[in-house]
Amino acid sequence: MFVELSNKQRMPNIGFGTDLVPDGETIINAVTWAIEAGYRHIDNADCYKNETGVGIAIKNCIDRGIVSRKDLYVVNKVPDWKQGYDSTIKCCKESLRKTGLDYFDLYLVHSPYRQNENWQKSVLDTYRAIETLYKEGLVKAIGVSNFEIRHLEFILKEAEIKPVVNQFEFHPQRQQKHVVEFCKAHDIQVVGWGTLNQGRIFKNQTFLDLAQKYNKDCGQIAVRYSLQKGVVPLVRSTKKERIYSNFDVDGFELSQEDMLLLDSLDGGEFSNMHHDGIRPVHMVPDTQTEYSPIPYTKTYKLFSFIPLLKEKRVAWNKSKWFLFGFIPFLRVTKRDETQKR
Ligand SMILES: NC(=O)c1ccc[n+]([C@@H]2O[C@H](COP(=O)([O-])OP(=O)(O)OC[C@H]3O[C@@H](n4cnc5c(N)ncnc54)[C@H](OP(=O)(O)O)[C@@H]3O)[C@@H](O)[C@H]2O)c1
């Protein structure tokens, strides 16, 4: 099944997520099982650090005759710390080299947030580079990710080529209705990440009750919820049976009443994280027109060298376990700040 994007491209309506899956055997197996199960949309990014494995799995599946390249819809993204015109072109070409592909079906600005506060210039330079990549045929469609309304308004005003997609966190506990409505009004397809709320739905009583009622599992309920909302869900698993079951969502539909029940979960516990480094997604209400520095700016700045260390691989292997010890601390800081609002 497909959704048609504003550029007439057909996007498979369920995507396989690859974030946080280690490169090597784990990602190769996961992507291979996903393609065998029927997923044709693979969501990947420079910062997931597993593009080589994703590419190997795709090549193996093509060599085995399971799919051809044109059947697949492969997505990639430029992370915020590589924003800028030249660095975006370089990043995309490097990602193509690592995955062994000639083109991406869709290429996204991973996030509008950046260490400096002049996000407009940074995002625009990046977007211009993506437009160039599109004109050169290296990417077949372009879009954005984690953009809120003010970012979308800005890019719609400045862009030569309109974004076809906005990818952001979407599931019953975080519906971001204002962004969804804005995207629908501007013919921008919403692609939802964290469809399973990064595993939290499997402990949620409403999901458990609905799973029992429909004789399905919570993952299938969540995927159906997104589909019925017109959102393309991205789902990740490293387990073969889960990869299959999350995709097996035909033949049942959630009733209007149960959709409303799931709607009522909005505002529950959610991730508020994206993984292009360690930075929590900046949650400024859209009523605020100016960019406000994140409340934990000082903490963030203190650790903002980490993605750079990772990039340069400066003593990374030796220091990463020590550095990762601070992540729970940062998450606590972020939660405190969110609760204060
Ligand atoms: N643009 C962005 O900023 C952004 C941010 C985050 C994610 N994404 C994309 O969206 C994709 C999906 O989101 P996500 O990775 O955040 O998480 P998700 O798909 O919401 O949840 C994944 C978690 O659910 C577990 N799980 C999956 N199926 C299950 C099942 N049937 N039963 C029980 N547990 C199950 C997985 O564990 P197991 O592996 O053990 O099954 C994993 O821990 C990502 O992989 C990535 O491609 C994009």
Mean pLDDT of the 243-249 span: 98
pTM for the full predicted model: 0.84
Closest residue by CA, ligand 1 atom 48: 193
**Residues 187 and 166: beta-carbon distance below 8 Å:** no
- The residue with tokens 């991205």 is 234
Q: Residue 323 CB: number of other CB atoms within 10 A? A: 15
Beta strands in the chain (DSSP E): 2-4, 10-12, 15-17, 41-43, 73-78, 106-109, 142-145, 165-169, 189-193, 232-235
Task: Supply the residue whose CA is at minimum distance from atom 3 of ligand 1.
Answer: 274
The whole-number pLDDT of residue 268 equals 80
pLDDT at 7 over 90: yes
Considering the domain delimited by 2-263, tell me its CATH architecture: Alpha-Beta Barrel (3.20)
Q: Is 326 exposed, middle or buried (0-12, 13-18, 19+ CB in 10 A)?
A: middle
If pLDDT is split at 50, 70 and 90, which confidence band does 318 have?
Answer: low
| Residue located nearest, by CA, to atom 25 of ligand 1 | 199
Q: What's the length of the chain?
A: 341
152 contacts 182 by C-beta, under 8 angstroms: yes
The two beta strands, 142-145 and 165-169, are parallel
236 alpha carbon to ligand 1 midpoint, in Å? 4
Q: Do 180 and 273 meet the contact criterion of CB atoms below 8 Å apart?
A: no
Rounded-to-integer distance, Cα 103 and Cα 286, Å: 34
Give bridge partners of residue 76 from the DSSP assignment: 107
Write the pLDDT tens digit of every residue in 139-162: 999 999 999 999 999 999 999 999
- Torsion angle of the four alpha carbons 73, 107, 160, 86, in this order, in degrees rounded to the nearest 10: -150
318: left (phi over 0), alpha (psi -120 to 50) or beta: alpha
Top-confidence residue, 119 or 248: 248
pLDDT for position 29 = 98
Residue 19 has pLDDT above 60, yes or no: yes
Ligand 1 pocket check for 242: Cβ under 6 Å: yes
Q: Model confidence at 95, in pLDDT bands (50, 70, 90)? A: very high
Among candidate residues 39, 48, 113, 225, the one labeled active-site is 48
Is residue 46 lining ligand 1, measured as CB closer than 6 Å? no
Which residue from 190, 188, 143 is spatially nearest to 170, judged by alpha carbons? 190
pLDDT digits (tens, 9 = 90+) for 211-245: 999 999 999 999 999 999 999 999 999 999 999 99
Confidence of residue 117 (pLDDT cuts 50, 70, 90): low
Residue 48 annotated in active site: yes
Is any ligand 1 atom within 6 A of the Cβ of residue 146?
A: yes
Residue 325: burial class (beta carbons within 10 Å; 0-12, 13-18, 19+): exposed
Distance from C-alpha of 124 to C-alpha of 109, rounded to nearest angstrom: 10
For residue 234, the CA-to-ligand 1 centroid distance in Å is 8
Of 9, 243, 22, whose CA–CA distance to 104 is shortest?
9
Cα separation of 286 and 24, whole Å?
A: 40
Interval 270-315: pLDDT, tens: 765 543 333 444 333 333 333 333 333 445 445 555 544 544 454 5
Residue nearest to atom 36 of ligand 1 (CA): 237
Mean pLDDT, the chain, as a whole number?
A: 86
Residue entry with tokens 């597993």: 50
Q: Is residue 55 within 8 Å of residue 101, measured between CB atoms?
A: yes
Q: Where are the domains of the chain?
A: 2-263, 297-340
